[in-house]
Structure 1
Amino acid sequence: MARAIAGDVNAFQRLYQTYVGKVYGLVLRLCGDRSQADDMVQEVFIQLWQKLANFRGDSKFSTWLHAVATNVTLTELRKQKRWYQRIIKAGQQVQQEADSGAMDLSELDRYVMKLPDQTRWVFVLAALEGMRHEEIADQLGIAVGTSKAQLHRAKQLIEEWANHDAA
Protein backbone atom coordinates (compact mmCIF):
# COMPACT_ATOMS: atom_id res chain seq x y z
CA MET A 1 0.00 0.00 0.00
CA ALA A 2 2.73 2.46 0.97
CA ARG A 3 4.54 1.82 -2.32
CA ALA A 4 1.37 2.49 -4.32
CA ILE A 5 0.77 5.70 -2.37
CA ALA A 6 4.36 6.71 -3.13
CA GLY A 7 3.62 6.36 -6.86
CA ASP A 8 4.94 2.86 -7.56
CA VAL A 9 3.06 1.79 -10.70
CA ASN A 10 3.71 -1.92 -10.11
CA ALA A 11 2.27 -1.71 -6.61
CA PHE A 12 -0.79 0.09 -7.99
CA GLN A 13 -1.20 -2.63 -10.64
CA ARG A 14 -1.28 -5.21 -7.83
CA LEU A 15 -3.98 -3.15 -6.07
CA TYR A 16 -5.90 -3.03 -9.34
CA GLN A 17 -5.66 -6.78 -9.85
CA THR A 18 -6.73 -7.43 -6.27
CA TYR A 19 -9.81 -5.19 -6.31
CA VAL A 20 -11.00 -4.83 -9.92
CA GLY A 21 -13.45 -7.75 -9.67
CA LYS A 22 -15.17 -6.43 -6.56
CA VAL A 23 -15.29 -2.90 -7.93
CA TYR A 24 -16.74 -4.17 -11.22
CA GLY A 25 -19.46 -6.11 -9.40
CA LEU A 26 -20.47 -3.06 -7.38
CA VAL A 27 -20.43 -0.72 -10.38
CA LEU A 28 -22.39 -3.14 -12.58
CA ARG A 29 -25.09 -3.53 -9.96
CA LEU A 30 -25.35 0.23 -9.59
CA CYS A 31 -25.43 1.13 -13.28
CA GLY A 32 -26.98 -2.00 -14.79
CA ASP A 33 -24.98 -1.95 -18.04
CA ARG A 34 -21.82 -3.97 -18.72
CA SER A 35 -20.29 -1.56 -21.22
CA GLN A 36 -20.99 1.40 -18.98
CA ALA A 37 -19.61 -0.51 -15.99
CA ASP A 38 -16.35 -1.15 -17.86
CA ASP A 39 -15.93 2.58 -18.45
CA MET A 40 -16.88 3.49 -14.91
CA VAL A 41 -14.48 0.96 -13.39
CA GLN A 42 -11.67 2.55 -15.36
CA GLU A 43 -12.77 5.96 -14.05
CA VAL A 44 -12.81 4.57 -10.49
CA PHE A 45 -9.21 3.43 -10.80
CA ILE A 46 -8.13 6.69 -12.43
CA GLN A 47 -9.68 8.55 -9.50
CA LEU A 48 -8.10 6.08 -7.10
CA TRP A 49 -4.64 6.73 -8.58
CA GLN A 50 -5.19 10.47 -8.21
CA LYS A 51 -6.60 10.24 -4.67
CA LEU A 52 -4.48 7.43 -3.25
CA ALA A 53 -2.34 9.88 -1.26
CA ASN A 54 -5.54 10.99 0.53
CA PHE A 55 -6.01 7.53 2.08
CA ARG A 56 -5.21 8.07 5.76
CA GLY A 57 -5.77 4.54 6.99
CA ASP A 58 -8.64 5.51 9.31
CA SER A 59 -10.63 2.65 7.79
CA LYS A 60 -9.79 -0.47 5.84
CA PHE A 61 -8.58 0.23 2.31
CA SER A 62 -11.41 -1.85 0.86
CA THR A 63 -13.96 0.31 2.72
CA TRP A 64 -12.37 3.48 1.39
CA LEU A 65 -12.21 2.06 -2.15
CA HIS A 66 -15.89 1.06 -1.90
CA ALA A 67 -16.77 4.67 -1.06
CA VAL A 68 -14.65 5.98 -3.96
CA ALA A 69 -16.26 3.50 -6.38
CA THR A 70 -19.78 4.34 -5.20
CA ASN A 71 -19.16 8.08 -5.42
CA VAL A 72 -17.60 7.89 -8.88
CA THR A 73 -20.39 5.68 -10.21
CA LEU A 74 -23.23 7.78 -8.84
CA THR A 75 -21.55 10.99 -10.01
CA GLU A 76 -21.14 9.57 -13.51
CA LEU A 77 -24.76 8.40 -13.58
CA ARG A 78 -25.97 11.83 -12.51
CA LYS A 79 -23.86 13.52 -15.21
CA GLN A 80 -25.24 11.50 -18.06
CA LYS A 81 -28.15 12.85 -20.04
CA ARG A 82 -30.97 10.36 -20.33
CA TRP A 83 -29.20 7.98 -17.97
CA TYR A 84 -32.54 6.77 -16.70
CA GLN A 85 -33.58 5.54 -20.14
CA ARG A 86 -30.20 3.91 -20.68
CA ILE A 87 -30.44 1.97 -17.44
CA ILE A 88 -33.96 0.81 -18.21
CA LYS A 89 -32.89 -0.27 -21.69
CA ALA A 90 -29.82 -2.05 -20.34
CA GLY A 91 -31.88 -3.80 -17.68
CA GLN A 92 -34.37 -4.97 -20.29
CA GLN A 93 -31.55 -6.17 -22.54
CA VAL A 94 -29.94 -8.10 -19.68
CA GLN A 95 -33.32 -9.60 -18.81
CA GLN A 96 -33.93 -10.65 -22.44
CA GLU A 97 -30.48 -12.21 -22.68
CA ALA A 98 -30.99 -14.01 -19.39
CA ASP A 99 -34.40 -15.29 -20.51
CA SER A 100 -32.94 -16.58 -23.77
CA GLY A 101 -30.17 -18.42 -21.94
CA ALA A 102 -27.48 -16.29 -23.61
CA MET A 103 -26.20 -15.19 -20.21
CA ASP A 104 -25.57 -17.09 -17.01
CA LEU A 105 -27.00 -14.71 -14.40
CA SER A 106 -28.16 -15.75 -10.98
CA GLU A 107 -31.82 -15.31 -10.23
CA LEU A 108 -31.03 -12.51 -7.79
CA ASP A 109 -29.00 -10.58 -10.35
CA ARG A 110 -31.86 -10.83 -12.83
CA TYR A 111 -34.30 -9.47 -10.29
CA VAL A 112 -31.93 -6.72 -9.17
CA MET A 113 -31.63 -5.52 -12.77
CA LYS A 114 -35.43 -5.16 -12.93
CA LEU A 115 -35.66 -2.89 -9.88
CA PRO A 116 -36.29 0.84 -10.34
CA ASP A 117 -33.07 2.88 -10.19
CA GLN A 118 -33.10 4.23 -6.66
CA THR A 119 -34.57 1.02 -5.28
CA ARG A 120 -31.77 -0.94 -6.99
CA TRP A 121 -29.08 1.39 -5.65
CA VAL A 122 -30.39 1.09 -2.09
CA PHE A 123 -30.72 -2.70 -2.38
CA VAL A 124 -27.20 -3.12 -3.77
CA LEU A 125 -25.64 -0.88 -1.15
CA ALA A 126 -27.60 -2.33 1.80
CA ALA A 127 -28.22 -5.98 1.04
CA LEU A 128 -25.27 -6.82 -1.17
CA GLU A 129 -22.59 -4.37 0.03
CA GLY A 130 -23.59 -4.28 3.70
CA MET A 131 -23.85 -0.51 4.11
CA ARG A 132 -25.98 1.01 6.89
CA HIS A 133 -29.01 3.12 6.02
CA GLU A 134 -27.30 6.24 7.35
CA GLU A 135 -24.39 5.70 4.94
CA ILE A 136 -26.73 5.00 2.04
CA ALA A 137 -28.79 8.10 2.79
CA ASP A 138 -25.62 10.18 2.80
CA GLN A 139 -24.32 8.62 -0.44
CA LEU A 140 -27.59 9.03 -2.34
CA GLY A 141 -28.75 12.29 -0.80
CA ILE A 142 -31.98 10.79 0.55
CA ALA A 143 -33.56 10.46 3.99
CA VAL A 144 -32.74 7.44 6.15
CA GLY A 145 -36.45 6.55 6.13
CA THR A 146 -36.45 6.61 2.34
CA SER A 147 -33.51 4.22 2.30
CA LYS A 148 -35.34 1.83 4.62
CA ALA A 149 -38.53 2.05 2.57
CA GLN A 150 -36.67 1.46 -0.71
CA LEU A 151 -34.92 -1.60 0.73
CA HIS A 152 -38.24 -2.98 1.95
CA ARG A 153 -39.78 -2.36 -1.49
CA ALA A 154 -36.85 -4.05 -3.23
CA LYS A 155 -37.23 -7.15 -1.07
CA GLN A 156 -40.99 -7.21 -1.75
CA LEU A 157 -40.51 -6.96 -5.51
CA ILE A 158 -37.80 -9.61 -5.59
CA GLU A 159 -39.97 -11.96 -3.54
CA GLU A 160 -42.97 -11.34 -5.83
CA TRP A 161 -40.90 -12.00 -8.95
CA ALA A 162 -39.35 -15.13 -7.45
CA ASN A 163 -42.76 -16.47 -6.43
CA HIS A 164 -44.16 -15.69 -9.87
CA ASP A 165 -41.28 -17.46 -11.63
CA ALA A 166 -41.61 -20.47 -9.32
CA ALA A 167 -45.32 -20.83 -10.12
Structure 2
Amino acid sequence: MAQDGVRIVLSTCVLQPSRLSWQQGSSVDSTLTVNQTDRADIEACLAGDEDAYGRLVRRYESELAKLMWRFCRDSTVCEELVQEVFVEAYFGLAGFRGEAPFSHWLKRIGSRVGYRFWRNQRREAGRFSLEDYDGVAPEPDSDITPEQAGEILHRLLAHLNDADRLVLTLMYFDECSTRDIAERMGWTRAMVKMRASRARRKLKSIAEQQGLLEAIGWTR
Protein backbone atom coordinates (compact mmCIF):
# COMPACT_ATOMS: atom_id res chain seq x y z
CA MET A 1 0.00 0.00 0.00
CA ALA A 2 1.54 3.29 -1.06
CA GLN A 3 2.09 5.99 1.54
CA ASP A 4 -0.20 8.33 -0.41
CA GLY A 5 -2.94 5.73 -0.05
CA VAL A 6 -2.35 5.64 3.68
CA ARG A 7 -2.62 9.42 3.85
CA ILE A 8 -5.96 9.31 2.01
CA VAL A 9 -7.30 6.85 4.57
CA LEU A 10 -5.95 8.88 7.46
CA SER A 11 -7.50 12.06 6.12
CA THR A 12 -10.97 10.50 6.27
CA CYS A 13 -10.93 9.40 9.89
CA VAL A 14 -9.09 10.48 13.03
CA LEU A 15 -9.62 8.01 15.86
CA GLN A 16 -9.45 8.81 19.54
CA PRO A 17 -6.59 7.32 21.60
CA SER A 18 -8.79 6.96 24.67
CA ARG A 19 -10.47 3.95 23.03
CA LEU A 20 -7.27 1.90 22.90
CA SER A 21 -7.72 -0.83 25.49
CA TRP A 22 -4.09 -1.36 26.44
CA GLN A 23 -3.17 2.28 27.00
CA GLN A 24 -2.19 3.59 30.41
CA GLY A 25 -4.96 2.96 32.91
CA SER A 26 -6.25 -0.16 31.14
CA SER A 27 -6.93 -3.30 33.14
CA VAL A 28 -5.01 -5.40 30.61
CA ASP A 29 -1.74 -6.85 31.91
CA SER A 30 1.23 -4.69 30.93
CA THR A 31 3.34 -7.74 29.99
CA LEU A 32 1.84 -7.92 26.50
CA THR A 33 3.51 -9.38 23.46
CA VAL A 34 2.90 -6.37 21.22
CA ASN A 35 6.30 -4.73 20.77
CA GLN A 36 7.02 -1.23 21.98
CA THR A 37 7.64 0.21 18.52
CA ASP A 38 4.24 -0.94 17.29
CA ARG A 39 2.62 0.23 20.52
CA ALA A 40 4.07 3.72 20.09
CA ASP A 41 2.99 3.98 16.45
CA ILE A 42 -0.54 2.75 17.18
CA GLU A 43 -0.94 5.25 19.99
CA ALA A 44 0.42 8.02 17.77
CA CYS A 45 -1.91 7.04 14.93
CA LEU A 46 -4.95 7.07 17.18
CA ALA A 47 -3.85 10.48 18.44
CA GLY A 48 -3.96 11.80 14.86
CA ASP A 49 -0.36 11.35 13.65
CA GLU A 50 -0.75 10.61 9.92
CA ASP A 51 2.81 9.32 9.53
CA ALA A 52 2.47 6.70 12.27
CA TYR A 53 0.21 4.37 10.30
CA GLY A 54 2.51 4.69 7.31
CA ARG A 55 5.31 3.31 9.47
CA LEU A 56 3.15 0.34 10.46
CA VAL A 57 2.31 -0.31 6.81
CA ARG A 58 5.94 -0.22 5.71
CA ARG A 59 6.91 -2.48 8.61
CA TYR A 60 4.44 -5.23 7.75
CA GLU A 61 3.49 -4.89 4.07
CA SER A 62 6.00 -7.52 2.88
CA GLU A 63 4.91 -10.04 5.50
CA LEU A 64 1.26 -9.42 4.71
CA ALA A 65 1.88 -9.66 0.96
CA LYS A 66 3.26 -13.18 1.47
CA LEU A 67 0.04 -14.18 3.20
CA MET A 68 -2.24 -12.64 0.58
CA TRP A 69 -0.28 -14.36 -2.20
CA ARG A 70 -1.76 -17.59 -0.80
CA PHE A 71 -5.15 -16.38 -1.97
CA CYS A 72 -4.27 -15.36 -5.51
CA ARG A 73 -1.53 -15.61 -8.10
CA ASP A 74 -1.88 -12.16 -9.60
CA SER A 75 0.46 -9.45 -8.33
CA THR A 76 -2.03 -6.65 -9.00
CA VAL A 77 -4.84 -8.43 -7.18
CA CYS A 78 -2.47 -9.33 -4.35
CA GLU A 79 -1.53 -5.67 -3.94
CA GLU A 80 -5.21 -4.73 -3.83
CA LEU A 81 -5.87 -7.36 -1.15
CA VAL A 82 -2.96 -6.07 0.93
CA GLN A 83 -4.36 -2.56 0.65
CA GLU A 84 -7.81 -3.79 1.67
CA VAL A 85 -6.36 -5.44 4.77
CA PHE A 86 -4.54 -2.27 5.82
CA VAL A 87 -7.65 -0.17 5.27
CA GLU A 88 -9.75 -2.53 7.40
CA ALA A 89 -7.03 -2.60 10.03
CA TYR A 90 -6.90 1.19 10.11
CA PHE A 91 -10.61 1.60 10.69
CA GLY A 92 -10.54 -1.14 13.32
CA LEU A 93 -7.36 0.05 15.00
CA ALA A 94 -9.10 1.40 18.08
CA GLY A 95 -10.35 -2.12 18.76
CA PHE A 96 -6.87 -3.67 18.76
CA ARG A 97 -6.43 -4.96 22.31
CA GLY A 98 -2.68 -5.57 22.21
CA GLU A 99 -3.02 -9.09 23.59
CA ALA A 100 -0.92 -10.50 20.73
CA PRO A 101 1.61 -9.06 18.28
CA PHE A 102 0.22 -6.55 15.80
CA SER A 103 1.31 -8.83 12.94
CA HIS A 104 -0.96 -11.60 14.28
CA TRP A 105 -3.89 -9.22 14.27
CA LEU A 106 -3.11 -8.18 10.69
CA LYS A 107 -2.93 -11.82 9.60
CA ARG A 108 -6.29 -12.50 11.19
CA ILE A 109 -7.79 -9.69 9.13
CA GLY A 110 -5.85 -10.86 6.07
CA SER A 111 -7.18 -14.41 6.35
CA ARG A 112 -10.73 -13.12 6.46
CA VAL A 113 -10.17 -10.74 3.54
CA GLY A 114 -8.70 -13.61 1.51
CA TYR A 115 -11.60 -15.89 2.41
CA ARG A 116 -14.06 -13.20 1.33
CA PHE A 117 -12.12 -12.73 -1.91
CA TRP A 118 -12.45 -16.45 -2.70
CA ARG A 119 -16.17 -16.43 -1.99
CA ASN A 120 -16.70 -13.44 -4.27
CA GLN A 121 -14.67 -15.11 -7.00
CA ARG A 122 -16.69 -18.29 -6.65
CA ARG A 123 -19.95 -16.42 -7.06
CA GLU A 124 -18.69 -14.52 -10.10
CA ALA A 125 -16.90 -17.28 -11.99
CA GLY A 126 -17.95 -20.63 -10.55
CA ARG A 127 -15.64 -23.61 -10.36
CA PHE A 128 -12.82 -24.19 -12.81
CA SER A 129 -10.59 -27.06 -13.82
CA LEU A 130 -6.86 -27.52 -14.09
CA GLU A 131 -7.22 -27.39 -17.86
CA ASP A 132 -7.86 -23.66 -17.50
CA TYR A 133 -4.22 -23.19 -16.49
CA ASP A 134 -1.52 -23.86 -19.05
CA GLY A 135 1.55 -25.57 -17.71
CA VAL A 136 0.11 -26.58 -14.35
CA ALA A 137 -0.08 -30.33 -14.87
CA PRO A 138 3.38 -31.91 -15.28
CA GLU A 139 4.46 -34.04 -18.20
CA PRO A 140 4.82 -37.76 -17.42
CA ASP A 141 8.16 -38.64 -15.78
CA SER A 142 9.16 -34.97 -15.59
CA ASP A 143 11.02 -33.57 -12.58
CA ILE A 144 8.92 -31.21 -10.48
CA THR A 145 10.54 -28.35 -8.60
CA PRO A 146 9.23 -27.38 -5.15
CA GLU A 147 7.87 -24.17 -6.67
CA GLN A 148 5.95 -26.11 -9.33
CA ALA A 149 4.64 -28.53 -6.74
CA GLY A 150 3.41 -25.60 -4.66
CA GLU A 151 1.68 -24.09 -7.68
CA ILE A 152 0.01 -27.41 -8.51
CA LEU A 153 -1.18 -27.73 -4.91
CA HIS A 154 -2.53 -24.18 -5.01
CA ARG A 155 -4.57 -25.02 -8.13
CA LEU A 156 -5.83 -28.28 -6.68
CA LEU A 157 -6.99 -26.53 -3.52
CA ALA A 158 -9.20 -24.30 -5.67
CA HIS A 159 -11.44 -27.32 -6.30
CA LEU A 160 -12.44 -27.43 -2.63
CA ASN A 161 -15.16 -25.34 -1.07
CA ASP A 162 -13.89 -22.03 0.28
CA ALA A 163 -13.78 -22.95 3.98
CA ASP A 164 -11.95 -26.25 3.39
CA ARG A 165 -9.60 -24.52 0.97
CA LEU A 166 -8.79 -21.87 3.56
CA VAL A 167 -7.95 -24.41 6.26
CA LEU A 168 -5.51 -26.36 4.08
CA THR A 169 -4.02 -23.22 2.54
CA LEU A 170 -3.18 -21.84 5.97
CA MET A 171 -1.88 -25.23 7.11
CA TYR A 172 0.25 -26.04 4.07
CA PHE A 173 1.44 -22.61 2.94
CA ASP A 174 1.38 -20.51 6.10
CA GLU A 175 2.24 -23.37 8.51
CA CYS A 176 -0.64 -22.53 10.84
CA SER A 177 -1.76 -24.89 13.58
CA THR A 178 -5.42 -25.71 14.14
CA ARG A 179 -5.32 -23.29 17.08
CA ASP A 180 -3.91 -20.51 14.87
CA ILE A 181 -6.62 -21.02 12.25
CA ALA A 182 -9.38 -21.14 14.85
CA GLU A 183 -8.19 -17.85 16.35
CA ARG A 184 -7.85 -16.14 12.97
CA MET A 185 -11.28 -17.14 11.74
CA GLY A 186 -13.26 -17.20 14.98
CA TRP A 187 -13.97 -20.93 14.58
CA THR A 188 -13.63 -23.71 17.15
CA ARG A 189 -10.60 -26.00 16.99
CA ALA A 190 -12.97 -28.95 16.61
CA MET A 191 -14.45 -27.35 13.50
CA VAL A 192 -11.00 -26.68 12.04
CA LYS A 193 -9.90 -30.28 12.68
CA MET A 194 -13.08 -31.62 11.09
CA ARG A 195 -12.65 -29.42 8.02
CA ALA A 196 -8.97 -30.31 7.72
CA SER A 197 -9.67 -34.04 7.82
CA ARG A 198 -12.48 -33.78 5.28
CA ALA A 199 -10.52 -31.43 3.03
CA ARG A 200 -7.47 -33.74 2.97
CA ARG A 201 -9.63 -36.64 1.81
CA LYS A 202 -11.19 -34.52 -0.93
CA LEU A 203 -7.83 -33.12 -2.00
CA LYS A 204 -6.26 -36.56 -2.19
CA SER A 205 -9.15 -37.82 -4.30
CA ILE A 206 -8.87 -34.87 -6.70
CA ALA A 207 -5.09 -35.22 -6.98
CA GLU A 208 -5.44 -38.93 -7.62
CA GLN A 209 -7.99 -38.32 -10.38
CA GLN A 210 -5.61 -35.83 -12.00
CA GLY A 211 -2.60 -38.14 -11.60
CA LEU A 212 -0.86 -35.55 -9.42
CA LEU A 213 -0.34 -37.35 -6.11
CA GLU A 214 3.41 -37.75 -6.58
CA ALA A 215 3.78 -34.24 -8.00
CA ILE A 216 2.65 -32.73 -4.71
CA GLY A 217 4.58 -35.24 -2.61
CA TRP A 218 1.57 -37.25 -1.47
CA THR A 219 2.80 -40.82 -1.43
CA ARG A 220 0.19 -42.40 0.82
* TM-score between the two structures when normalised by the length of structure 1: 0.70
2:194 paired with 1:145: yes
Taking only the aligned residue pairs, the percentage that are identical comes to 23
Matched to 2:124, the amino acid is R
Counterpart of 1:160 in 2: which secondary structure?
A: coil
2:166 paired with 1:121: yes
Return the match for 2:124 from 62, 66, 82. 82
State the match for 1:8 in structure 2. Answer: 49
State the match for 1:92 in structure 2. Answer: 133
2:215 paired with 1:161: yes
Higher helix proportion (structure 1 or 2): 1
State the match for 2:106 in structure 1. Answer: 65
Q: Deviations over 1:47-106 (max 9, x none)?
A: 111111111101111111100111122123323432544x768x826849xx9xxxxx92
State the match for 1:56 in structure 2. Answer: 97
Deviation at 1:155, TM superposition (A): 8.0
User: C-alpha separation between the residues in 2 aligned to 1:92 and 1:7?
Assistant: 47
Deviation at 1:127, TM superposition (A): 2.9
Task: Give structure 1 regions of 4+ aligned residues with deviation exceeding 6 angstroms.
Answer: none
Q: Calculate the aligned-residue CA RMSD, in Å.
A: 3.7
5+ residue gaps, structure 2, are: 1-37, 140-145
User: C-alpha separation between the residues in 2 aligned to 1:136 and 1:88?
Assistant: 27
* TM-score between the two structures when normalised by the length of structure 2: 0.56
State the match for 1:102 in structure 2. Answer: none
Q: Deviations over 1:15-68 (max 9, x none)?
A: 111211121121121234333222211111111111111111011111111001
The alignment of Structure 1 onto Structure 2 pairs a total of residues equal to: 157
Larger Rg: 2
